[in-house]
Structure 1
């Protein structure tokens, strides 16, 4: 019997190169299970899935297999904030404390909403060690962050808020809308657009979730030098900002294949969804027809706010308001269009919109790659998409 995984789905004429790149991921890039989808001008031109949803390779990947997409969730969270801005309920230049009074503690009273969305607020981590259960306790996390003193003067530099972005922006959404981030996204985007994407996965849906591997040990030439540097810093400075950003609460080490993680709302890291849903959401944004955000909202979302050496990640990052933006560096590019915006996730998942080419893209997988930003598997797919346009 062949070890070649079965690939399912559809690929429009002219996009065969995307299918080839997807299959190549299984042949030469150690893919276990994955899915990718592409919309062009609102039409789905690629919708592929294959492989297995578990490491033991006993569960075939299904059309509706859900994947924990880590920081790709941040784009979902950002869309929610921008909808509230579009509706005039949230103001980028208003003080966070206007909506969330407790946030004014520790000298943060003048911090504007803009700094939260652009990773400039200086709260990538909580210094005081938190108990493991705090990771799944919304009130515990937002209370700790409201009380925290910034690691740098807000607005003076940027550093990736790996987990805290979700609680910070999610609490703003909750204070303004009266709904949790997961509920707001479901009612505002998922249900109207027919998206199978969840922030806080209902217990009845856990069986559909793919088993995620630990982050791969990098092979020769596979990891960014910055990823290696960051890993060393986390080991040698366990109380430092970068280590705290990823490992406080320490329950992050317990992994994501557990009910507590799947059920919680962690809007910086635990969205569960399909590539099809990412492509549909970003595809609607790419058409810029007002269904997701206003045209002004799209322009606002992708306007550069932060660019350069990241205080947390040890490499260059570039952010708009909640979304990551392309950089010239190949491993940080969403393709050739400079205005493309979206978000990658740890291990390899990514979703993005390109309004110039009217492309929405999604890729999800369960074998975690070692790169910090975009993974080789996603980059190969993105290259194939643009070669096919």
Structure 2
């Protein structure tokens, strides 16, 4: 299948790189978008949106982005801070009473948003819970001891991030992650993005597929993704039930154009993210908070409140290969969203064609 879409002058080579990925079989369904100076200069569609290869990937194809979702969970949490329901540094147990036990009494929202709350995975007691048992999974986190003292180590909260934020929002603000995202964040930022895809948009959702049958077992992060079962099981991830649920750590469904447009406006002093949060929280969102070795991914990272940052970019990726970033060097944003779950080498090739480097550098 030929890659289709458009590229402005000077960006034609991006189409060639994407076509090479399709021709080699490394990509079976993906969207690429690049924004610069307030406009989209690249919009490309590659391959198929479904496992049967009957639906070509389109501009409006939605795909589950895994951990790229976490950046939008962060925004929902910061809306509650903006509104005075929460602060970044007061113990969340002041609101979520059940959470303040077994060494979590002083855990703060800042710890959660920077992946230092000591709960990078669900506890073993959650092994028999269903993937979509939101209440049960929240309760398991509240009752569990952290794996390390909050604030003392770093490990991306692979599956737990959204449930932690949702628990805090319910206790402190009387609302939910899904409600804040859909009622406040989504309209303010004009996002074609969903935690819980509505019926009218289900036909746009792409089917995920594994690059290799053994791919899930090969992952460095596999031990953190095993409880509860199903986060990498195609029968669950491609189900209507999961597509229409709120699993904040992993299941935002969105398009490449929406994602790149968001990153293109992320740092703007007159942009929608700053208007949504206000100047102080916008600065907190983008400021480097911690640099340390991330035990989940085995590499040194600098985290802001929800993003990875280094000298070249502000970025977030998702397991399976989707990634988006704002290039601090070149002042453009790019999103590569894929349904074929593999490593990030495909996004890295697109980044290299733009003069960007997706390899992780810990220092800002």
TM over 0.5: yes
- 1:131 offset after TM fit, Å? 5.5
Distance (Å, rounded) in 2 between the aligned partners of 1:172 and 1:54: 36
Q: Deviations over 1:254-292 (max 9, x none)?
A: 331112211210010011110011012112213232411
What SS class does the counterpart of residue 253 from structure 2 fall into?
A: strand
Aligned residues: 351
Shift of 1:72: 0.7
Deviation digits for residues 322-360 of structure 1 (CA, Å, limit 9, x no counterpart): 21224xxxxxxxxxxx16323100111112234564423
Alignment partner of 1:379 out of 345, 348, 351: 348
Secondary structure of the residue aligned to 1:25 is: helix
User: Measured at CA, do residues 286 and 8 of structure 1 come closer, stay the same or move farther in structure 2, by a change above 3 Å?
Assistant: farther
Q: CA deviation at 1:177?
A: 4.2
Report the 3-state secondary structure (helix = DSSP H, G, I; strand = E; otherwise coil) of the residue aligned with 2:102.
helix
Task: Pick the structure with more helix per residue.
Answer: 1
Q: Which runs of 5+ in 1 are unaligned?
A: 235-242, 327-337
Partner of 1:230: 220
Regions of 4+ moved over 6 Å? none
Residue 27 of structure 2 corresponds to residue 31 of structure 1? yes
Q: 1:229 to 1:199 in 2, by over 3 A?
A: closer
Does the aligned pair in 2 maintain the 1:216–1:367 contact within 8 Å? no
Partners of 1:215 and 1:155 lie apart in 2 by 36
Instruction: Return closer, same or farther for 1:22/1:161 CA change in 2, 3 Å cut-off.
Output: same
Once residues 23 and 243 of structure 2 are traced to their aligned partners in structure 1, the CA distance between those partners, rounded to angstroms, is 30
1:305 aligns with 289
Equivalent residue number for residue 314 of structure 1: 298
Q: Which residue of 2 aligns with 1:78?
A: 74
Q: Is the 8 A contact 1:285 1:355 kept in 2?
A: no
2:339 is aligned with 1:366 = yes
Cα offset for 1:368?
A: 0.8
C-alpha displacement of 1:214? 2.1
Cα deviation digits, residues 220-273 of structure 1 (max 9, x gap): xxx9xxx95837xx5xxxxxxxx2x21111133533111221121001001111
Counterpart of 2:147?
151
Shift of 1:14: 1.7
- Unaligned segments of structure 2, at least 5 residues: 357-364
Verify the 8 A CA contact 1:286 1:355 in the aligned structure 2: no
Question: Corresponding residue for 1:278?
Answer: 259
Q: Are the counterparts in 2 of residues 40 and 359 from structure 1 also a CA contact under 8 Å?
A: yes
Residues 1:95 and 2:91 aligned together: yes
- CA contact under 8 A between 2:86 and 2:172: conserved in structure 1? yes
Deviation, 1:120, is 0.8
Instruction: Give the Cα separation in 2 of the matches to 1:173 and 1:351.
Output: 26
CA distance in 2, matches of 1:340, 1:51: 28
